[in-house]
Amino acid sequence: GIQVEQSPPDLILQEGANSTLRCNFSDSVNNLQWFHQNPWGQLINLFYIPSGTKQNGRLSATTVATERYSLLYISSSQTTDSGVYFCAVERAGGSYIPTFGRGTSLIVHP
Amino acid sequence: SAVISQKPSRDICQRGTSLTIQCQVDSQVTMMFWYRQQPGQSLTLIATANQGSEATYESGFVIDKFPISRPNLTFSTLTVSNMSPEDSSIYLCSVEDLSPNEQFFGPGTRLTVL
C-alpha cells in the first residue's frame, strides 16, 4: 500500500512563531487532506488539497503532486494551534480508502 | 460538509462486555468508515461500512470482534465485542463525499475497558 511519512514527529513553538509541516507519500494520489486533531480528540478538516496551493487565514498548504509531497504552513502560531496534524492520502487508481500518516504533534507555548 | 454525530461520546466498560457505537450523518453519503485510534497513535481503519451488505474489513480486524451494521445511507453502528483493556481507544466514524473526495469525521467515542 501507499506509504505516508510526516515530519517532524514533534514540534514545540513559542506563540507567534511560524512553522512548516511536511507530508511525503510514496505513490500518485488523487486525494490529500490535512486534519488537525485538537486536545479533545476532534478531527477538524483543514485542507482538501490533492494539488496546488490554498490558504485559510494563518494556515496555508501546498501540494506538489509530481514530487509526492505536501506542506502545511502555520504562521503566527497560537496556543489553540496545539494538537496533532495528520496528512491523509488516497492512492490514484485505488479504492477510496484513505491512508493516514503518523502525524505531527504540535505544542504552542504562550 | 456533512455533520456527523456519535453516541456515546465516552464510556467505561468492564472486560468481557460489548459496546455498540452509533454514527448518524445529516445527509446521505456513499462511503462510511470506522477507525480506531489507540493512545498516542495515528488512525487505523477498521472497516468500510457498506449499505445493505457486510462491511469490508481491513487486515487484522474481523467481523466477530467488530460487527458493523449500515441499514441506510445515513446511519451505521460499530460493536466492540468481548472487550479487553487492549480495546481502550477512540473509535471514529467518518464519511466521504465522492466529488470531491473529502473526508469528514465524527467527534469520536472514547472507550476505556477495565
A75-89 pLDDT per residue, tens: 999 999 999 999 999
Is the pLDDT higher at A94 or at A2? A2
- Check pLDDT > 80 for residue B1: no
List chain A residues with CB under 8 Å of B102: 31, 33, 45, 48
The residue of chain B nearest to residue A29, with distances taken between CA atoms, is B101
Q: What percent of chain A has pLDDT over 90?
A: 85
- Check pLDDT > 90 for residue A11: yes
Among chain A, residues having any CB pair with chain B shorter than 8 Å are: 30-31, 33, 35, 41-43, 45, 48, 86, 88, 90, 96-98, 100-103
**Lowest-confidence pick of A27-31, A58-62, A73-77, A90-94:** A90-94
Query: Rounded distance, CA A82 to CA A27, Å?
Result: 30
Q: How far is CA A12 from CA A15, A45, B10, B40, in A?
A: 10, 22, 29, 17
Residues B58-105 pLDDT 10s: 999 999 999 999 999 999 999 999 999 999 999 999 998 776 778 999
The residue of chain A nearest to residue B102, with distances taken between CA atoms, is A48
Q: What percent of chain B has pLDDT over 90?
A: 84
Report chain B's mean pLDDT, rounded to a whole number: 94
The residue of chain B nearest to residue A101, with distances taken between CA atoms, is B42
The three state secondary structure string of chain A is: CCCEEEECCEEEEECCCCEEEEEEECCCEEEEEEEEECCCCCEEEEEECCCEEEEECCEEEEEEHHHCEEEEEECCCCHHHCEEEEEEEEECCCCCCCEECCCEEEEEEC
Q: How does DSSP assign B21-62, residue by residue?
A: EEEEESS--SEEEEEEE-TT---EEEEEEPTTS--EEPTT--
Query: Rounded distance, CA B7 to CA B24, Å?
Result: 9
